């Protein structure tokens, strides 16, 4: 389960992405690497009917490889475009990140999120598809799939 903490809306009817949002999650990277992450997003503005936010995330992931001791740090940045679809907010956009500086990622993130009633607390579920690059190798890794689930709290 992923925890997503997103910011509090000052007025009813405000898009969940129009406020500062704290994100926390439990999920996977590269198919099999379980981990946890914590992030923060801030609104960038409106583009047409889409709210645009910038989200930065840091996490720790465990790769099931015998030579690796302990979790590896992953940092990531997403530009997310979101809009409302019924009772939920749908979002997606480009993503860049690195795993301990040894592997770089480029891809897309997409998901849905909603609120628990009128509270500032909400939830999310998202998926990521990325290509990994080892600096100096010139050969991309196979497409890597990951995802997470969580709670949100809006400031």
In the block, tokens 């704290």 appear at 22
**CATH architecture of residue range(s) 21-154:** Beta Barrel (2.40)
pLDDT over 60 (residue 6) = no
Residue 40 clears pLDDT 80, i.e. is over it: yes
Residue 83 CA to residue 76 CA, distance in Å, equals 22
> Can you give the pTM of this predicted structure?
0.83
Distance between CA atoms of residues 66 and 55, nearest Å: 32
Assess whether pLDDT exceeds 50 at residue 9.
no
**Could you read off the pLDDT of 111-144 as tens digits, one per residue?**
999 988 888 999 999 999 999 888 888 778 878 8
By the 8 A CB rule, do 54 and 78 touch? yes
Both structure tokens of 13: 């009817």
* pLDDT tens for each residue of 71-102: 889 999 999 999 998 888 999 999 999 988 88
């Amino acid at each position: 389960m992923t925890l997503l903490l997103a910011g509090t809306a000052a007025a009813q009817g405000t898009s969940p992405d129009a406020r500062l949002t704290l994100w926390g999650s439990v999920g996977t990277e590269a198919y099999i690497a379980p981990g946890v992450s914590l992030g923060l997003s801030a609104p960038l503005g409106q583009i047409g009917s889409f709210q645009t936010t910038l989200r930065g995330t840091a996490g720790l992931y465990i790769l099931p490889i015998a030579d690796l001791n302990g979790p590896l740090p992953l940092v990531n940045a997403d530009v997310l475009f979101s809009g409302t679809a019924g009772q939920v907010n749908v979002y997606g956009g480009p993503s860049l990140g690195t795993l301990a500086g040894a592997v770089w990622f480029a891809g897309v993130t997409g998901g849905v999120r909603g609120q628990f009633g009128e509270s500032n607390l909400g939830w999310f579920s998202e998926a990521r598809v990325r290509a990994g690059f080892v600096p100096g190798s010139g050969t991309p890794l196979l497409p890597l799939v990951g995802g997470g689930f969580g709670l949100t709290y809006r400031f």
